A = this chain, B = another copy of it.
Amino acid sequence: MTIDGMHQIGEVAEAVGLSLRTIRHYEEVGVAPPSGRSPGGFRLYTDDDVERLRLAKALKPLDLSLEEMRDLLDTRDRLADPAIKGKARTELVERLAMYAALALERCNLLEEQLTSVREVARTLRNESVTTKK
A residues whose Cβ falls under 8 Å from a Cβ of B: 55, 58-62, 76, 79, 89, 93-94, 96-97, 99-100, 103-104, 106-107, 110-111, 113-114, 116-121, 124-125, 127-129, 131-132
Q: How far is the CA of A17 from the CA of B62 in the complex (A)?
A: 21
Q: How many copies of this chain?
A: 2
Q: List 21 A-B contacts (CB under 8 A).
A: A55-B120, A58-B116, A58-B117, A58-B120, A61-B114, A62-B117, A76-B127, A79-B127, A79-B131, A94-B128, A96-B127, A97-B124, A97-B128, A97-B129, A104-B121, A107-B114, A107-B117, A107-B118, A107-B121, A110-B113, A114-B114
How many whole Å from A117's CB to the nearest CB in chain B? 4
Task: Tell me whether A128 and B96 are in contact in the complex, defined as CB-CB below 8 angstroms, given that A103-B120, A113-B110 are known contacts.
Answer: yes
Task: Tell me whether A131 and B93 are in contact in the complex, defined as CB-CB below 8 angstroms, given that A110-B113, A110-B117 are known contacts.
Answer: yes
Provide the main secondary structure of the chain A interface: helix
Q: How far is the CA of A99 from the CA of B125 in the complex (A)?
A: 9
How many whole Å from A95's CB to the nearest CB in chain B? 8
Closest to A103 in B: B121
Contacts of A96 in B (CB 8 A): 124, 127-128, 131
How many whole Å from A127's CB to the nearest CB in chain B? 6
Knowing that A89-B131, A110-B114, A114-B114 touch, tell me 9 more A-B residue pairs with CB under 8 angstroms. A61-B114, A62-B117, A79-B127, A94-B128, A96-B127, A103-B117, A103-B120, A104-B121, A111-B114
